[in-house]
């Protein structure tokens, strides 16, 4: 039984708390800390059987009974808290992105090198989605041969509010970062070069924040495959999350998930349901699965499925994407 | 080169004329006869390169150059004209149904026995539809093993006008007759027993004509398979023509055809096109294919793909269906 | 908070225990009883936080703290235990079928009449399946107009072992009973008349037990709609569970659920996944949803979604189906 | 009735001859010319009712009865013959590409300016494909709002032989040129800038010819939309031809065409057919439709659906694509 402390009781912290309580075996959340802990949150947390509720996360790090912590605090604190936790001898599950600055991620890497027993997992939950996992499985099994072209479609149902855009690091580090990690996961490879063609087509207010809302991103992977991601901040029909991997022996492709398979045929045509609304609906089960695998790695001294290398790569690709937009040219990863 | 005469220049006669002219090799329509031949029809017919245009079909039968005739006249004349044509030494393609009365079909059978060299094909064009042909092919290739359950859905986009219903012989002999033949074709078997549950749900005027407009028809086939047909005279979304054959090793199923594969995703859902409107749209290519195979059988002394046995069976099943409705019980084919 | 006792700790009892523990709010399983309670089961049960573990279900009925019981014992004890529980003042969730004998179900009905405050729900979980619920919702919302033809396909991935067939009451009371209830649910109607065409095509051993393994079942519903169920005990491609409701304004149809939407295109064709293996995989979420609604009805004095009327109907239809096979004729429900 | 002369009796010339003979009203092929005219071709041509068969295309241009010519000769002669035909007062249908050199296309443009009555159509037949036409129709009808992202997938079933690659002008001018035209057609816009990421992944022999076989091509359109084309010279599952247009109000997407809709479910999964083999199978009907519209424009003095502007654009984009590969940077169309 792994005892867990959760640092940060915002939306994603609560998701993990529920997953571990109801859907993950051999794990138990003992403590939750949040600097803004209020009565309502405390009631929710205690309702899940958590006995220790703190404002200061250091109380979690000081508890010798706690084996692992989940770092679900605000992004700018991920790296520092992770390093403290590593040094306190805890296993760490860190939400994505580890940080927006490469030197801070490097500092986490160094802490891990100094503590080789530490299990450190990054929260790229979509790798555990049933559809995307099936794509990778088909590739691993050799069913499509060598990877030639990967296509990822990733469109949100609605843009974030402009205030959030400012602090989010922009579309590439906030939204596309998941797709960058997915590209690496599905091709089992890193990125060598990237080129971005982007635009502001959804909302001029986004452009006024210096960000973009629509993009086509081309990448050359280190294994020779080509990859393309197309992003939009607003799809009128909802959350569009698909992937297609084309190779020397065939192609594997996925569709969106829906609430039901019901299709209505009438005078208007043959109509199925829209995709599940947004990431909490579409990826809920993947949040449980990433926790199961993290707990399993902690308990059985196994390898974590998404380590610091992946956490570093995704941010690096995001920064290269920004550079490509600024300089309007293909950018090699080696330039960063 | 097979020289053909067409008897009856109504809708289906014109369809065959166009097929042969534009889509069938090694055949040529030399003559067309219709008792109601008018100027417009004659212009159409001559526009297709037909040189002989008659009111009296006997002029076609008397032409020694003509190898084969298509009997596309009104249903009540099919059998008599077929017999005359057989006796005149012509090959015969007879539209369905051969007749509504079994003794008249039997008379055609006898004429054929007396003229063994005659190629006689019945116009069950749907056997040549790309989808249904693919079902039979999968079955013949052993891909679904032994046939266990056949399901046919057959729904029209709109009911015929009440006046037509009276002369049509009722839904089972007019509309379902195609599905009865399809059941025999897809299971490669005859019917042993039939039970019909029917209703008037589309239009009370149909009930007032003594007919039904909705039915579920269960059959036991002579090879042991079970089969079910569901019919409606009106599907709000259009012409619904599907089949599903389930067997010991698997299932083969078909969907409707549409004008294009375009699917629109928007705030209302994910919407594809309605089925092609009606039989002329859906089955146009099948009319050409049945002609190609008829011409091929005539030219190369081959076997016709749909003979008098099939023509007899379908009508017999239709009559058994009517009997099942009247007596509200399962009816064995042997009772007829 | 509803306190629950589970009577019977077999497969389905365990499913409910897990559902309530992990997926149902406002409910808690306090006690579990099973005459064959063994150490392994007790460990499993206590692992879910259950404090009371008994061999004798009467200890559950005697506990004044327990609000509701789940009757998950063997079928032949359902009715008797239900009546005892009703008389002990408990709400009752009874697994299907309530009994195979109508007079025993009638006895339960009478107990309920005598205890009008009792919430009594029957375990037809498939009504809560996301796909089938979407069909009923479309119908309720008027999107397909009046119901004309309902089609249910229900095929198991493999037949039960012959020993089970003997005690199960035969295919109609064991397997099809779910489809009978589904037919009533989806058309929001009862059955008026039924006709069965059945066969032994899967395994002669089933026939030797006096049962059938393949059937097409036609029903006339009391609201005038026609319905057809096709059953097989073995589909080579797995658990096939689909429905299609056709009405005056359109059709709503559902497909099977799969583990993922991944489709592989290669030299063999374009291949998607097989359906989820069997009822535990396909219907797991529906088991949780029926519990949520039962708990909700108990807690808020609401109406249960599946009452004793539905429990009676499904068995009655099953018995009528057997009679139709024996007498080879359509059977009116009024005959029973 | 339009009288037509066909210049070039290779594969595509024969396709047009058959289309006009069998599927296009109000048009007739009077003459066919080919410098390599042989007995077999002449027999085929005469079998279609063509009375004049020449080696020298000038005999066609000299025939005052001939209204229009189809230029189906080798690519390097397209422009010169087109100009001669324009000057001879013929309407011209010119196969794609008009030429690989922009100055030669410009010369055709000038000839057209000098002969304003001439109908000049370029053979981008895919615009007339039922699926792609449905995408454009949905866009024109405002069903997807403003165009944001266009995605075209275009993969051949097998690469051409290396000898052909040399003379073809490379993948962008030979294969992708259709996709460039499609991008302009579907967004109803021209290209402003293009970037190509390409590779040799299918066959090293293609690389040895200085060509590529796999590419992701990003474009910015003049109306602000972004577009991406992904190409491969070899898809193991066959000819993959899809498009997806995403806009402010929704998305329209198309799938591949297949021989039938039959889907087989068995122990291996749920398998549908591969796409139609190659362009002659997939686009046959579009060849007829482009002829119908060309004939219609000639007969009724209408506008041709694909004029010299489109012919020029597609080649220009192809040359820009080559430049992008050579210089490894985004290239503006204005640079050419």
Per residue in B196-243, pLDDT (tens digit) is: 999 999 999 999 999 999 999 999 999 999 999 999 999 999 999 999
Instruction: Give all chains having 3 or more CB-to-CB distances under 8 Å with chain D.
Output: A, B, C
- CA separation for the pair B306, B300 (Å, rounded): 16
What average pLDDT score do residues A160-179 get? Answer: 91
CB contact under 8 A, B148 and C232: yes
Helices (H), chain B: 11-23, 39-47, 58-61, 75-87, 102-114, 130-140, 162-168, 171-174, 176-187, 204-208, 279-282, 284-300, 308-327
Q: Tell me what pLDDT residue D168 has.
A: 86
Is pLDDT above 90 for D162?
no
**Of A214, A215, A226, which has the smallest distance from its Cβ to D216's Cβ?**
A226
CB contact under 8 A, B268 and A271: yes
Report the gap between the CA of D205 and the closest CA in chain A (Å): 16
Using pLDDT thresholds of 50, 70 and 90, give the confidence band for residue C165: confident
The rounded mean pLDDT for chain D is 96
- CA separation for the pair D123, D71 (Å, rounded): 10
CB contact under 8 A, A250 and C261: no
Give yes or no for a contact between B165 and B209, defined as CB atoms under 8 angstroms apart.
Answer: yes
Helices (H), C48-101: 58-61, 75-87
Residue of A241, A270, A273 best to disrupt the B interface, most CBs of B under 10 A: A270
Is pLDDT above 90 for A166?
no
Q: Report pLDDT digits (tens) over C192-215.
A: 999 999 999 999 999 999 999 999
Is pLDDT above 90 for C159?
yes
Is pLDDT above 90 for B167?
no
Helices (H), C115-155: 130-140
Q: Smallest Cα–Cα separation from A322: which of A120, A9, A138, A102?
A: A102
Q: Tell me what pLDDT residue C162 has.
A: 81
DSSP A278: S
B236/D contact by beta carbon, under 8 A: no
Give yes or no for a contact between D203 and D158, defined as CB atoms under 8 angstroms apart.
Answer: no
Q: Report pLDDT digits (tens) over A257-285.
A: 999 999 999 999 999 999 999 999 999 99
- CA separation for the pair D181, D136 (Å, rounded): 13
CB contact under 8 A, A133 and C260: yes
Residues of C in contact with A247 (CB under 8 A): none
Q: Tell me what pLDDT residue B163 has.
A: 83
D252/B contact by beta carbon, under 8 A: yes
What average pLDDT score do residues D229-248 get? Answer: 98
Is pLDDT above 90 for B264?
yes
Using pLDDT thresholds of 50, 70 and 90, give the confidence band for residue D166: confident
- CA separation for the pair A94, A85 (Å, rounded): 10
Residues of A in contact with C255 (CB under 8 A): 261, 263
- CA separation for the pair C147, C220 (Å, rounded): 12
Which pair of structure tokens corresponds to residue B67? 């190898």
D37/A contact by beta carbon, under 8 A: no
Which pair of structure tokens corresponds to residue A200? 């502001």
Q: What is the DSSP string of B37-65?
A: --HHHHHHHHHTT--EEES-THHHHT-TT
Residues of A in contact with D201 (CB under 8 A): 146, 148, 224-225, 248
Residues of B in contact with C241 (CB under 8 A): none
Q: Smallest Cα–Cα separation from C79: which of C60, C61, C58, C98?
A: C98
B25/D contact by beta carbon, under 8 A: no
**Of A199, A228, A237, which has the smallest distance from its Cβ to D230's Cβ?**
A228
Residue C55 CB neighbours (<10 A)? 10
**DSSP-derived 3-state class of residue D145:** coil
ipTM value for the complex: 0.95
**DSSP-derived 3-state class of residue B33:** strand
- CA separation for the pair A263, D153 (Å, rounded): 27
Instruction: Give all chains having 3 or more CB-to-CB distances under 8 Å with chain B.
Output: A, C, D
Q: Smallest Cα–Cα separation from D193: which of D170, D150, D222, D214?
A: D222
Q: Smallest Cα–Cα separation from A253: which of C115, B176, D244, D5?
A: D244
pLDDT more than 70, % of chain B: 100
**Of B254, B259, B264, which has the smallest distance from its Cβ to D262's Cβ?**
B254
DSSP C29: E
Say which residue the tokens 């199925």 belong to: A272
A-D Cβ pairs (cutoff 8 Å, strict):
113
**Of C237, C265, C267, which has the smallest distance from its Cβ to D265's Cβ?**
C237
Which pair of structure tokens corresponds to residue D136? 């454009």
Q: Tell me what pLDDT residue A31 has.
A: 98
Q: Tell me what pLDDT residue B164 has.
A: 87
Residue of A138, A156, A230 best to disrupt the D interface, most CBs of D under 10 A: A230
A130/C contact by beta carbon, under 8 A: yes
Which pair of structure tokens corresponds to residue B316? 């017999």
Is pLDDT above 90 for A163?
no
CB contact under 8 A, C149 and B235: no
For residue B128, what is the nearest residue in chain D, using CA coordinates? D260
- CA separation for the pair D148, D248 (Å, rounded): 7
Half-sphere exposure of C191 (CA within 13 A, CB side): 34
Helices (H), chain D: 11-23, 39-47, 58-62, 75-87, 102-114, 130-140, 162-168, 171-174, 176-187, 204-208, 279-282, 284-299, 308-327
Half-sphere exposure of D26 (CA within 13 A, CB side): 11
Using pLDDT thresholds of 50, 70 and 90, give the confidence band for residue D164: confident
Report the gap between the CA of C289 and the closest CA in chain B (Å): 25
Q: What is the DSSP string of D150-206?
A: EEEEEE-SSPPPHHHHHHHT-HHHHTHHHHHHHHHHHHTS-EEEEEEEEE--S-HHH
Sheet architecture: strand order including A2-7 = A52-54, A27-33, A2-7, A68-71, A91-94, A120-122
Cis peptide before C120 (omega within 30 of 0): no
Q: Report pLDDT digits (tens) over D170-206.
A: 999 999 999 999 999 999 999 999 999 999 999 999 9
Please state which of the ranges A82-96, A153-167, C322-336, D238-252 shows the lowest mean pLDDT: A153-167
Residues of D in contact with C237 (CB under 8 A): 265-267, 269-270
Sheet architecture: strand order including D120-122 = D52-54, D27-33, D2-7, D68-71, D91-94, D120-122
Which pair of structure tokens corresponds to residue D336? 């050419």
D267/C contact by beta carbon, under 8 A: yes
- CA separation for the pair A291, A298 (Å, rounded): 10
C145/B contact by beta carbon, under 8 A: yes
Residues 6 or more apart whose Cβ sits within 8 Å of residue D122: D94, D95, D96, D98, D306, D307, D308, D310, D311
Say which residue the tokens 């004939």 belong to: D295
The rounded mean pLDDT for chain B is 96
- CA separation for the pair B203, B210 (Å, rounded): 12
Give yes or no for a contact between B99 and B105, defined as CB atoms under 8 angstroms apart.
Answer: yes
Q: Tell me what pLDDT residue B44 has.
A: 94
Q: Report pLDDT digits (tens) over A45-82.
A: 998 999 999 999 999 999 999 999 999 999 999 999 99
| pTM, two decimal places | 0.96
**Of C237, C269, C270, which has the smallest distance from its Cβ to D267's Cβ?**
C237
Is pLDDT above 90 for C168?
no
CB contact under 8 A, D265 and B259: no
- CA separation for the pair C151, C189 (Å, rounded): 14
Residues 6 or more apart whose Cβ sits within 8 Å of residue C39: none
Residues 6 or more apart whose Cβ sits within 8 Å of residue B113: none
Scanning B180-199 for CB atoms below 8 A from C yields: 193, 195, 197-199
Residue C293 CB neighbours (<10 A)? 19
CB contact under 8 A, A197 and D226: yes
Report the gap between the CA of D149 and the closest CA in chain A (Å): 8
CB contact under 8 A, D262 and B135: yes
- CA separation for the pair C36, C86 (Å, rounded): 24
Say which residue the tokens 């805890």 belong to: A90
C205/A contact by beta carbon, under 8 A: no
CB contact under 8 A, A265 and B274: yes
Q: What is the DSSP string of A27-89?
A: EEEEEEE-TT--HHHHHHHHHTT--EEES-THHHHT-TT--EEEE-S-HHHHHHHHHHHHHTT
CB contact under 8 A, D274 and C271: no
Using pLDDT thresholds of 50, 70 and 90, give the confidence band for residue A168: confident
Find the helix or strand (DSSP H, E) in which A312 lies.
Answer: helix A308-327
Q: Report pLDDT digits (tens) over D254-301.
A: 999 999 999 999 999 999 999 999 999 999 999 999 999 999 999 999
A270/C contact by beta carbon, under 8 A: no
- CA separation for the pair A70, A33 (Å, rounded): 10
């Amino acid at each position: 039984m792994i005892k867990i402390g959760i640092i940060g009781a915002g939306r994603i912290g609560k998701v993990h708390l529920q997953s571990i309580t109801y859907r993950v075996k051999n794990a138990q959340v003992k403590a939750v800390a949040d600097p803004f802990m209020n009565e309502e949150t405390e009631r929710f947390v205690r309702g899940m059987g958590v006995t220790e509720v703190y404002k200061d996360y250091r109380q979690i790090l000081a508890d010798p009974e706690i084996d692992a912590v989940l770092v679900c605090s605000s992004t700018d604190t991920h790296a520092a808290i992770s390093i403290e936790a590593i040094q306190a001898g805890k296993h760490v599950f860190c939400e994505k992105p580890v940080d927006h600055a490469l030197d801070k991620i490097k500092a986490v890497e160094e802490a891990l090198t100094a503590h080789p027993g530490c299990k450190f997992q990054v929260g790229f939950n979509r790798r555990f989605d049933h559809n995307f996992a099936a794509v990778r499985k088909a590739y691993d099994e050799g069913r499509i041969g060598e990877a030639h072209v990967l296509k990822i479609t990733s469109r949100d149902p609605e843009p974030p509010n402009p205030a959030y855009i400012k602090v989010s690091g922009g579309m590439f580090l906030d939204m596309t970062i998941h797709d960058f990690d997915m590209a690496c996961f599905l091709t089992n490879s890193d990125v060598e070069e990237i080129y971005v063609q982007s635009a502001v087509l959804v909302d001029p207010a986004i452009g006024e924040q210096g960000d973009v809302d629509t993009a086509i991103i081309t990448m050359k992977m280190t294994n020779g495959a080509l990859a393309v991601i197309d992003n939009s901040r607003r799809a009128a029909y909802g959350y569009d999350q698909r992937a297609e991997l084309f190779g020397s022996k065939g192609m594997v492709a996925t569709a969106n998930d829906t609430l039901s398979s019901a299709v209505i045929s009438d005078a208007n045509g043959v109509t199925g349901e829209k995709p599940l609304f947004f990431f909490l609906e579409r990826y809920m089960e993947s949040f449980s699965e990433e926790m199961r695998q993290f707990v399993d790695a902690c308990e059985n001294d196994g390898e974590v499925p998404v380590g610091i290398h992946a956490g570093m790569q995704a941010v690096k690709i995001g920064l290269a994407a920004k550079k490509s937009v600024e300089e309007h040219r293909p950018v090699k990863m080696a330039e960063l």
